[in-house]
């Protein structure tokens, strides 16, 4: 099973991927997670990406494309993968098509998680994340038992640097301008499936199970 999870920031691509992963042994590839790990480790890639990320802009296409070329040939991709946060531009989508053709594989589906901008703003301004294990909290829906401390690992629970309202609105306009055209791109390819992003954490899993 090879899937793309498409959707605005805050649509819940990562959450849906976690639910799928609990049932299927396929790789969850989040470009945002890879980039954040590089920023944390202070690699060349991380240094380059950091400024774009904190302002909510896209990291340049060639950087992301090279990163993904290396990632898709890792052994854990053999059983399939879910791409979360890639592609994000038409240029990236065309590069992905080329990579897949060279590998002799094809996508099964592109799932578009549909969500209203104002729901995203309220979701992301209240989102918190454990610095240590990555567990996601929400100050409204799912607070940690002790403020600022992770229930799972005791790590520090923080707000992501790009989860402030100004940056969130930038990320949303970047999404509408650069990423939303991919919906049409994959519709034309005949592999687009649209779902309501507020319908539940297992919407993507249900689609996979329906497809068999």
Binding-site ranges for ligand ADP (CB under 6 A):
9-10, 31-32, 35, 52-53, 56-59, 64, 85-86, 88, 92, 162, 171
Instruction: Check binding of 153 to Zn ion (CB under 5 A).
Output: yes
Q: Which does 103 bind (CB under 5 to 8 A by kind): Zn ion, ligand ADP, none?
A: none
Rounded-to-integer distance, Cα 159 and Cα 183, Å: 30
Terminal-residue alpha carbon distance, the chain: 9
In the set 160, 169, 187, 206, the catalytic residue is 160
User: What beta strand segments (E) does the chain contain?
Assistant: 2-7, 27-30, 81-84, 109-114, 127-130, 136-138, 157-158, 192-196
68, containing H or E segment: helix 61-71
CB of 50 to Zn ion, least distance (A): 23
Rounded-to-integer distance, Cα 14 and Cα 5, Å: 9
Instruction: Check binding of 149 to Zn ion (CB under 5 A).
Output: no
Nearest CA-CA partner of 56 in 139, 173, 152: 173
Buried b (16+ CB within 10 A) or exposed e, 107-116: bbbbbbbebe
CB of 138 to ligand ADP, least distance (A): 14
CB of 82 to Zn ion, least distance (A): 22
Residue 81 or 86 with smaller CB distance to ligand ADP: 86
CB of 11 to ligand ADP, least distance (A): 8
Q: Which does 58 bind (CB under 5 to 8 A by kind): Zn ion, ligand ADP, none?
A: ligand ADP
Total residues found in the chain within this entry: 212
Known catalytic membership, residue 123: no
Instruction: Check binding of 146 to Zn ion (CB under 5 A).
Output: no
Known catalytic membership, residue 69: no
Instruction: Check binding of 150 to Zn ion (CB under 5 A).
Output: yes
Rounded-to-integer distance, Cα 99 and Cα 127, Å: 34
Residues that bind Zn ion (CB under 5 A): 130, 132-133, 135, 150, 152-153, 155
Q: What residues are labeled active site?
A: 13, 88, 127, 160, 171
């Amino acid at each position: 099973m090879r899937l793309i999870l498409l959707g605005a920031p805050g649509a819940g691509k990562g959450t849906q991927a976690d639910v799928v992963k609990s049932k299927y042994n396929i790789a969850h590839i989040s470009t945002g997670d890879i980039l954040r790990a590089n920023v944390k480790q202070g690699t060349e890639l991380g240094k380059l990406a950091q400024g774009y990320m904190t302002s909510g802009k896209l990291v340049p296409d060639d950087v992301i494309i090279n990163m993904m070329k290396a990632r898709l040939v890792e052994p854990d991709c053999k059983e399939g993968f879910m791409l979360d946060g890639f592609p994000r531009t038409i240029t990236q989508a065309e590069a992905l098509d080329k990579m897949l053709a060279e590998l002799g594989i094809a996508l099964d589906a592109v799932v578009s998680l549909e969500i209203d901008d104002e729901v995203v703003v309220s979701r992301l301004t209240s989102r918190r994340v454990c610095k240590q294990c990555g567990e996601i909290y929400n100050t409204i829906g799912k607070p940690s038992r002790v403020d600022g401390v992770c229930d799972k690992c005791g790590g520090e629970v923080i707000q992501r640097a790009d989860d402030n309202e100004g940056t969130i609105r930038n990320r949303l306009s970047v999404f509408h301008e650069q990423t939303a055209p991919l919906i049409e791109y994959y519709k034309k390819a005949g592999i687009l499936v649209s779902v309501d992003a507020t319908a539940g954490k297992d919407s993507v899993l249900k689609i996979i199970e329906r497809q068999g």
